[in-house]
Amino acid sequence: MRLPQSRFRPPVRSIHCLIVTTSLLLGAVSTCAQAVSSQLTANPRNVRFGTIVLRQTETVGVSLTNTGSTNLTVTAVKTSTPEFSVANLTLPLTLAPQQSIDVNLTFAPTIGGWATGTFAFITNPSTQTLYIGAGGVGLGSESMTPSPASLGFGNVTVGSTATLPVKLTNSGTSYIRLTQVELTGTEFTASGFSFPVILGPGQAFTFDVTFAPQFAGAASGSVILPNAGLTIPLTGTGGNTITGQLTIAPTPLSFGNVTVGSQATQPITMTASGASVTVSSAASSSSQFVLDGASFPFTIAAGRKVAFNVTFAPQNSGTSSGSLSFVSNASNSKSVESLSGVGVSPTYSVGLSWNGMQGVTGYNIYRSTAANGAYARINPAVEPNTTYSDNTVTSGQTYFYAATSVNTSGQESARSAPPAVAVVP
């Protein structure tokens, strides 16, 4: 079990640190630049140790110089991790102006993998503290086993994602430190890391890999863990984007008989299936058929439906046909609804009424198209009532009506005067 390590942090007021992490082959160091000019300097300022077998030691010499004009005393040395230490320095150490001294910095890794740290040479005055960055690689009997050894995502629709877990197990005999992960293949990402990840013998760690295809077709990549010398192949296939289907009902849509000059309304229902559908526009092939209540564009969610009204306003008598064409992003991008209806000329009737007379059995009704023209009887039999409806009139015609009475002997009176006038629209 690795014990918690004390971490030394330089004062914020005097130091700014930039941690640069690169491939293991290139190396990485902790580079720290003092915010103020230090009287104590080091050469080199950053130390790169090599690859060291665990629990062995490498030493690198560094020259410390008092570049000031007054004496400077080094009172203490602190490191950010016990794996880094100073070998041959007796404290306190006083350096005269321009005096130099060689000290040995050591790296004794206890955990496999890349390690970074900081040497802090604390001086009097404390504002002259010197920081030296260091880095090195610990090499042990590491054996990292991934499960699975490769990831196959199969077919994933373009625009969606799929995520699979990977379990890493330290099957070796020493600690392994993971400080970075690299991926190839722009459509793959990894998540779940919080570096550094330190695994003791037998310990395991799980992270996720996500495949987000941007294009249809095969894709490949890999997860690379440089500290563990491990590469996990990745494969997947981007599938075609699912497009919705637009269905319109009823189809065809028939309005039956509609009087010319009036209108009739019928509902239609539009349904999206498979995926959502966005309808961008609609057009009617005839001005007699109009879609009511639609505002474009509109989107229908998968499995949902919307309803609108279609109005038929015949302008002439006879059969009329037309269609509504809907443009959308559905697989049937141009959906057509067939429409039909019959325009019927309007029918009119003229209602007549008069005052009744005593001693008569009924009345006869006469009609003419001119006030002084010839009149013809239009009732087939004597009408016993004092009202009558003429259902044989024609639109746009003017009619003149007169009535006679018939007594019990069958004698008929003269026609009423003046005649009643009816103008049919």
Q: Which of 98, 120, 139 is the last residue of a domain?
A: 139
| Cα(264)–Cα(237) distance, integer angstroms | 53
| Domain-embedded: residue 7 | no
| Domain-embedded: residue 412 | yes
| Domain-embedded: residue 391 | yes
Q: Which of 344, 363, 391 is the last residue of a domain?
A: 344
Residue 149 maps to which CATH number? Answer: 2.60.40.10
- Structure confidence by residue, pLDDT tens digits, 254-284: 999 999 989 999 999 999 998 889 999 999 9
The pLDDT value given to residue 283: 94
Q: Do both 35 and 151 map to the same domain?
A: no
Nearest CA among 260, 276, 212, 257 for reference residue 239: 212
Q: How many domains does the chain divide into? A: 4
Domain that holds residue 339: 245-344
Q: Do both 226 and 252 map to the same domain?
A: no
Q: Do both 163 and 235 map to the same domain?
A: yes
Nearest CA among 170, 191, 175 for reference residue 113: 175
Q: What is the mean pLDDT of residues 173-179?
A: 83
- Structure confidence by residue, pLDDT tens digits, 319-350: 999 999 999 998 888 899 999 999 998 889 99
| Domain-embedded: residue 127 | yes
Q: Centre a 10 Å sphere on the Cβ of residue 263 and count the other Cβ atoms it contains.
A: 14
Q: Which of 239, 266, 294 is the last residue of a domain?
A: 239
Q: Do both 23 and 135 map to the same domain?
A: yes
Cα 157–chain centre separation? 14
| Cα(111)–Cα(200) distance, integer angstroms | 9
- Structure confidence by residue, pLDDT tens digits, 192-237: 999 889 888 899 999 999 999 988 888 988 998 877 777 888 999 9
| Domain-embedded: residue 120 | yes
On the question of pLDDT at 115 being above 90, the answer is no
3-state DSSP of 380-410: CCCECCCEEEECCCCCCCEEEEEEEEEECCC
Q: Centre a 10 Å sphere on the Cβ of residue 94 and count the other Cβ atoms it contains.
A: 12
Which DSSP category does 412 fall into? B
| Domain-embedded: residue 4 | no
